[in-house]
Amino acid sequence: MKTRYITTVILFLAIVFSGLAQSDSFDPNMKWVRGWTNFQPNKTTYLDHDKTLPNIISEDTYLRNDFVYLMSGDIYVTNNATLTIQEGTVLRGDAENPANLVVTRGAKLIANGSKAYPIVFTSSKSAYSRNNGDWGGITIIGSGNSNLIEGEGTIKGDFDPKYTAFGGEKEDEETTILRYIRIEYAGKSTNGLSLYALGSQSIIENIMVSYSADDSFEWHSGKSPAKNLISLKSNDDDFDFTKGYKGELVNILAIKHPYITSKNGSFAIEIDGYDSKVGFKNSQELTSVDITGATLITLTDQTNYTHSRSAISIRNLAELYINNSNISGFSDVVRLDKSFSTLKMIDKGFKMDNSFFNIHRDGVITENGITNSTFNLLKYNRFTKTFKNPEELFSDPLDKSNPQFSLKNSINNYMVIQ
């Protein structure tokens, strides 16, 4: 009977994987990473700037790729203006007067790079001297759905108050178009890329945030989907969701340094059902995220793996479904806070299937101390019997310029939770 059950599970996994492999978006071989990324941005030499952007952009503006632009101080796109950036354009964030690009509610950013010519936002410092948090980051504000009590909120950061409101009733708004973009050495007092109440017609794809001093990506409210996202060695969380965000992500990669973290600790994914400081409007509209094809890696090995923590943190009754994913190097797969007071609530808050993990502790942590049957959350997933170094599992994870995180062996070679 037991053998028949295991065979059924393996057959089920094989069917699901073969079906998803045919999807236009999900890419189990991670070919989507090739051709536009840069895993060693500190070695890259960029030309000095030709022009400085104004601090207020109040009319439609087009940035050409035959100029390099300096962003200095806070730059606001206002008055329903559209800022369009040509493929291959380089913009440098001032490290002396830290830059922020803030696209205010009603305005629009169209940054439509290409695989051959990505758009690059980087530090004004020269090669080999750049650091996490050299400049601020990019903040895009929409009029999409928000689950805050008053229906709108205020963005984080020390910004001009008249430009900081987000949220509204334009659920289908095309707030922004972002394709093939690299954001390097941002995160000073904000995140690499902050997305507030984006409408569902927004396009967020092929974005790489490298060496952010805060979160790499952060979503506040909204319903915008996203795909092909990379977070490289941020100081804080890689992918952060809060304030009732609801959306689907496909193909994400987080690479964490084993010794770099924020003062409160950092996670590959942090998800809050609501902001406990401001409350929520509707208990049925708490943050809920579906992720297909996550690769969450912290580059720990047998010498330092005890310093790692959970890959995922879920708080304030948020919901996360993750599938067809690989998680490696962390202490546990997921940590759930005290808002999950029963096993039924935990089962609702986190689901994972058709995935693989390599961890060094129990897999599931609950702050309420609920232990009975919590490991069942990881049913129908594969795992290593003992903790493995990254080079034992993945094709070439330690290559500094072109790391590869495809599993060396078939997922069926690993143990399955019954």
Domain ranges of the chain: 44-233, 236-418
**With bands split at pLDDT 50, 70 and 90, how would you rate the model's confidence at 325?**
very high
Using one digit for the tens of pLDDT, what is the confidence trace for 262-302? 667 799 999 999 998 888 999 889 999 999 999 999 999 88
Count of residues making up the chain? 418
Residue reference for tokens 């305005």: 107
Per-residue pLDDT averaged across 12-36, rounded?
65
Give the model's pLDDT for residue 24: 53
Backbone φ and ψ of 344, nearest 5°? -60, -40
Give the model's pLDDT for residue 39: 98
Per-residue pLDDT averaged across 305-314, rounded?
90
Give the model's pLDDT for residue 159: 97
Beta strand 61-63 pairing with 82-85: parallel
The answer to whether residue 16 scores a pLDDT higher than 60 is no
The answer to whether residue 114 scores a pLDDT higher than 60 is yes
Give the model's pLDDT for residue 327: 97
Give the model's pLDDT for residue 17: 44
Give the model's pLDDT for residue 91: 98
Give the model's pLDDT for residue 304: 87
Mean pLDDT of the chain: 91
Beta bridge partners of 138: 101, 193
Q: What is the DSSP letter of 409?
A: S
Burial code (b: 16+ CB inside 10 Å, e: under 16) for 352-374 equals bbbbbbbbbbebbbbeeebeeeb
**With bands split at pLDDT 50, 70 and 90, how would you rate the model's confidence at 395?**
very high
CA 311 to chain centre: 13
Backbone φ and ψ of 346, nearest 5°? -65, -45
Retrieve residue 411's tokens. Answer: 């997922």
The answer to whether residue 77 scores a pLDDT higher than 70 is yes
Give the model's pLDDT for residue 133: 97
The answer to whether residue 8 scores a pLDDT higher than 80 is no
Using one digit for the tens of pLDDT, what is the confidence trace for 149-174? 888 999 999 999 999 999 999 999 99
- Quote the CA–CA distance of 310 and 28 in Å, as a whole number: 23
Q: Lowest mean pLDDT: which of 3-12, 190-199, 227-236, 318-327?
A: 3-12
Query: DSSP states of 259-316 as a string?
Result: T---TT---SEEEESS-TTT--S-GGGS-EEEEEEEEEEE---TTTGGG---SEEEET
- Quote the CA–CA distance of 397 and 399 in Å, as a whole number: 6
The answer to whether residue 101 scores a pLDDT higher than 70 is yes
Question: What's the Rg (C-alpha) of the chain?
Answer: 21
Q: 294 or 303, which is more confident?
A: 294
